[in-house]
Structure formats: structure tokens, C-alpha cells
A and B are shown apart, each in its own frame.
Chain A
Amino acid sequence: MKSLEVTLRAVRENGRKALVPYFVAGATPDWVRHVEAAALGGADAIEIGIPFSDPMMDGVVIQEAGLRALQAGTTFESIGRQLTSIDTEVPLIAMTYYNIFLHYGLARSAGRLHEFGLSGAIVPDLSLEESDEWRTSCGEHDIATIFLVAPSTPAERIKEVARRSEGFLYASARMAVTGASSDQGDGARVVANVREASDLPVYVGIGITTPEQAATTAAVSDGVIVGSALVKVILNGASVHDVENFVRSFRDAIDTTFEV
């Protein structure tokens, strides 16, 4: 079992709901300090978005952050260099589009992720059917390959995807790209479908905007992923302290609902 999955299964066994914030690497000069702040604020794992020119699964907020990062000259390697200064024990997970890794070389990418201190990777446009080579490369470097399921994914397919996902399964709460939403979405139903097929931790993301939504969603899953809502406050100029408070507000809402 990959290290990431050992860690995240332990989170669940300790009765804790996982909180996974998402950052776009390079969107602001002090993004690494933001990541550390999120860890202090109570994150159990942190997604590091590597910007791509054509983010097909992302809404306007993450598009904007990615554009800023690219304009600032952010690359896979520059992210790695900046991460060497990071001070946290919280597992870090890369999230990007397949072309970034494909162009860099799959085996080389997986090796670099490991050297950069990342322990998992989410590649939303890499379908299960095309993933053999990537999974093999990640297998050689202890990188957990995390797959998504959506409200549209049929039961049979959920079984297939869950069997190959490592660390956790990313359950999309709605048929939408990343971005704010006011309703709860379909997360509960997707999680219930996964439960029938797998005992992998299931985290829900896409459209989790407020601490209250996070708490309600955590009630029916093993954890929540908070992306656009956090990226938006960062684009609006949040300080390191603001980021920590933002993450803690989600942590507190979740923990108040689930006394540990």
C-alpha cells in the first residue's frame, strides 16, 4: 500500500474527517507559505495544482489562478524547487492535467514528484483506460494515483475505478467543473455508491464553498476537498494568516459536527 493511503486510512481510523485544501502553485509569490498555513489550520492532506494552459475541468477561479501562475513563469520544476523550502508533515498531492506529465516523461515525472516530497497525483483528464503506463511509473516511486468518480459514473465502472485508485477516491459532488456552488450536490449519493464497491476512503469535492457545506458533506463521506473557495480568497489578496483562518473555519465546522 502506498504511504499516502496508509496515512489517510489512519486519519479515518482515528475517527477524523479529512480536510484537503487545494492550491494553485505559483498563483502568488508566497504560495508555499500558504500551504504551510493550511497545514497549521488543520489540513490532513494538501493538493498542489500545477498550472496548465487548458484546464478543461476548471471553472473561472482556478483558470484565473493558473493563468497568473503561468504568467509568473511557474513550471513543474520551479514548483519543485520552491517546495524544497516547505516545512510541514502533511502529505502533498499533485493535481494537474496529463499533458504536463506526458510531455516531461511519465517515469521522470513520477520520480520528480517523489523527490519534490509529493506522495500522490490526481490527473482529472487521464481516464482509467489510458492510465496503465502512468500507474506503473507511479508505482515505482510511491506516488498514489488518485482517480475521480462522478454522479454520472455507473456502479460497474465505480468498482473498476475504485479498484485502481490509491490513497482515496475523489468523488465529484456534481456534474460541473470546479467552482463555487450553493447547494449540497450529489456527493452523498456518489459516496453511497462507492461504499458498495470499495473500502477506500472517499473524499468529496467540486463546489464545496462554505464551512457548513463541508461539515454536512463530511457527515456522509471520509473527507472534503476545498478548492475554488480557497483559491478565490487567495486571488483576492489573502495573507498567510487569512489562509490559516480560512482553513481552520472549515476544520472547526467539521469537527464541531463530529466530536473527535
Chain B
Amino acid sequence: MSNIGVMGDPDERGHFGDFGGRFVPEALMPACLELEEAFRDAWADPSFINEYRTTLSQFVGRPTPVTPLPRLSEKLGLRLYAKREDLAHTGSHKINNVVGQTLLTRRMGKTRIIAETGAGQHGVATATGAARLGLACTVFMGEVDTVRQELNVFRMELLGARVVPVTSGSRTLKDAVNEAMREWVTCVADTHYCIGSVMGPHPFPWMVREFQSIIGIEAAAQLEELGAGTPDLVVACVGGGSNAAGIFAGFANSDARLIGVEAAGGAAVASGSPGVLHGMRSLLLQDEFGQIEEAHSMSAGLDYPGIGPEHAYLADSGRAEYFAVGDEEVLDAFSLLSESEGIIPALETAHALAWITREVGALIPRGATVLLNLSGRGDKDVAQVRQLLKGES
């Protein structure tokens, strides 16, 4: 069973409205074309889909549940549900995409995989997927992030990956992407670049969304089973936007309002303008001369100055709405979910909850049914939050 078409395909050159496309050096064009062909072929092949689904169930632990959040619901005056991507293997939704891309890597006859990572979630997921299939793996990580997320560096190394600290530019996620692209040029014949979000040149934004659409497809069915019906709102955090794209895909054709929540310091929809970076035309934080600005967020996973092109399109068309929240609200939401429901969320995820708590009675009518995409678990952030909370008191 193919999932193509759930949220609408881009045109043949990868455009979602005015956004997307393929802006890469000529050396990488053949690889992008090859990948597009391989993905189209695989995604129409029942044996590939079957292997992808089987791996998700046997290795990742899917389906992840939808959990009603009764105490928080009562506090907020909502009917609140969480899609538990934090329970997926490696602790976040990132693994769904990695399973798809690693299987595709093997299918293309490539033996090595490279990836960028910010917080380390995608790096850990990629190292995990590579280990499972016996692929060599190199992960590029901004030097700043290797310090912020030191344990994830060690995790990747335990999984057999090589981690390359990136010392160019701002030494964070956007520079890790630059460095991975530079590396890919040199080794494209035997190496696949496993981009971790719905960004980059066509077919990545589309392909990654398809590999993540399992989140929304499962959640829609699970809410039905729980008798919750179609939610009034579906809320997800957005850096590049893969967990949001994945959950939106299950509700794009429903009446649910789709809400993406960005970090205030990296809000490409609220503060960005159209531009080209990392192979795509999208909304970007940039100065008056078109130089890309650095995002600033306490959450490394949202520290990206752009957004996936399909989100730019969904914002433009009005089908999805995007809002920003600040670090303080996020910390409150982080504690709130931990204390009320016994779930410590990733700081990224806490952004989505922060918006919900802020907007109850305002943008969210009381009594509304709200589905939160609980994109990742907070284990990786506990040390950082401890520092931040100490700093506050």
C-alpha cells in the first residue's frame, strides 16, 4: 500500500507551490535524479513497503500509541491526546525516516550513509539504521552541538558511526548540512545522504514526508478507535518540520486545524522571507543582503534558520498555521507535562505544548479536541533543563 498523495505531491520538479525545487551543484544533480527515481520505484513496490512496515513494527516498535492526557486535559479544559513518537526506538520520530532511507540506500546498491544532526536525534537514528543494515555511517554535527549533546556523540560512536565536528560558520545545524553536502559531492557514487527533515533538494522534502506520514495515518485511526473522532487541532513543533509533516499527512484532508510551532529564535514563517538554501526554495531567516542568519534556540533540534518547503507552502495557502513560542514558555510546558502526565518530553516537543497552554481560551476554544505530536522524549535534555531551572531559581 503506497501512501503517495495523502498530502498532495509536489510537481515533477519538486515544487510545492512557489517553494521546493532543486538548487544543488551540478555534481549532485545526477544523484538527486537517481534518488527520485529510486524512491518512486520503491514507494510503488509492495515488497519495499512491506519491508519498511515490517521494520517499523519489529525494530522501531510501531505503532506507537495515542495516549489520552486526562490530568492535563482537566487542567487546561481540553480533550488532549498525544501521539507517542517518544516511544519509538531511539526516542523520537526520526527513526521512521531513517528506516525508509536506509532501506532505499541498500536498494540503490550504496554501502555508506552520511547525515547531519543538530540535537543528535537524527544522528543517533541514522547510526542505528546504518548499524542494522551494515552500512558505514558518518554524521556531521556542529561543534557547538557536539558539546551541548555530548552523550549523543558517544551514542553514535557506540553504534559504530564516525562523528565529524563541524567548525565552519555558526558551528550548528545549518553548517552541519553544508558540510554533509560538501562531503556528498566527493562520494556520491557509493554514499547516500540521509537528510533528517523535510528539507533539502527534491525529492527529499517529499520523500521524508512520505516516510513520516505513518505518524498521521496511525494517529487518525487510533483517535477513531478511542472514540475521539477527528481532532479540532493537530499541533506539532517545527524545526525543518518532519514530525509536523508526518502527523499533518494523516489529517490534511480532514477539518482539523493544522498548527506548527516554531522556536521564537528560529521562526522561519513568522520572521523569514523566501530564499534558497540547502537545495530548496523556502522561507528563511536572512538579512537585508540575503545572508542567512543564525537561529537561536535552547533546543538544538529547532536551531535551523529555515523550514521545509511544503510547510512554507502550507503556510502560504493557509492550510496550516504557524506560531512561535519563547524559551520560558517552553520550560514551563516541559515541567507541566512531566508533572501532570509522567512524560518527560523533548524540548522540541515542549514548544508545541507551550503553544497549546498559552492559547487555551484564546486561539483554542475550551473543550476542543487537540492532538499533540509528542515527537521525542526528553532524556537528552534533562541535563540542560537542570542547568536552566537552576539558573532561574
**Chain A residues near B (Cβ < 8 Å):** 52-57, 59-60, 63, 67, 70, 75-76, 97-104, 124-130, 147-154, 157, 161, 172, 175-177
Contact = CB atoms under 8 A, between A and B. Distances in A.
Given A59-B182, A157-B30, A125 B24 contact: yes
B188 A152 contact: yes
21 contacts: A54-B169, A54-B278, A55-B178, A56-B25, A56-B181, A56-B182, A57-B185, A59-B182, A99-B284, A101-B290, A103-B273, A103-B289, A124-B25, A125-B25, A127-B22, A129-B22, A130-B21, A150-B26, A152-B29, A175-B187, A177-B186
Given A148-B25, A150-B25, A152-B30, A99 B168 contact: no
Interface in B241-296: 273-279, 281, 284, 286, 289-292
A76 B289 CA distance: 8
Interface string B129-173: 000000000000000000000000000000000000000110000
Contacts of A57: 25, 182, 185
Interface of B: 13, 21-31, 168-169, 174-175, 178, 181-182, 185-189, 273-279, 281, 284, 286, 289-292
A99 B290 contact: yes
Contacts of B26: 124, 127-128, 147-150, 153, 161, 172
Nearest to A126: B23
Given A52-B291, A97-B276, 10 more contacts: A63-B169, A75-B289, A100-B289, A102-B290, A127-B29, A149-B26, A152-B189, A153-B29, A172-B27, A175-B188
A161 B181 CA distance: 22
Contacts, number: 113
Contact of A152 (B27, B178, B292): B27
Contacts of B29: 127, 152-153, 157
A76 B291 CA distance: 11
A176 B25 CA distance: 10
B108 to A, nearest CB: 15
> Max chain B CB contacts within 10 Å: which of A57, A128, A151?
A57
By Cβ-Cβ distance, the 7 closest A-B pairs, closest first, are A103-B290, A150-B27, A53-B291, A148-B26, A53-B292, A99-B276, A177-B182
B223 to A, nearest CB: 40
A175 B186 contact: yes
A56 B278 contact: yes
Contacts of B22: 127, 129-130
Interface centre among B25, B169, B273, B281 (most CB of A within 10 A): B25
B186 A176 contact: yes
Nearest to B286: A103
B31, B187, B275 — most chain A CB neighbours (10 Å): B275
Contacts of B25: 56-57, 124-125, 148, 150
A150 B188 CA distance: 12
A131 to B, nearest CB: 10
B178 A56 contact: yes
A57 B291 CA distance: 16
A129 B276 contact: no
A133 to B, nearest CB: 12
B203 to A, nearest CB: 13
Contacts of B281: 102, 130
Contacts of A150: 25-27
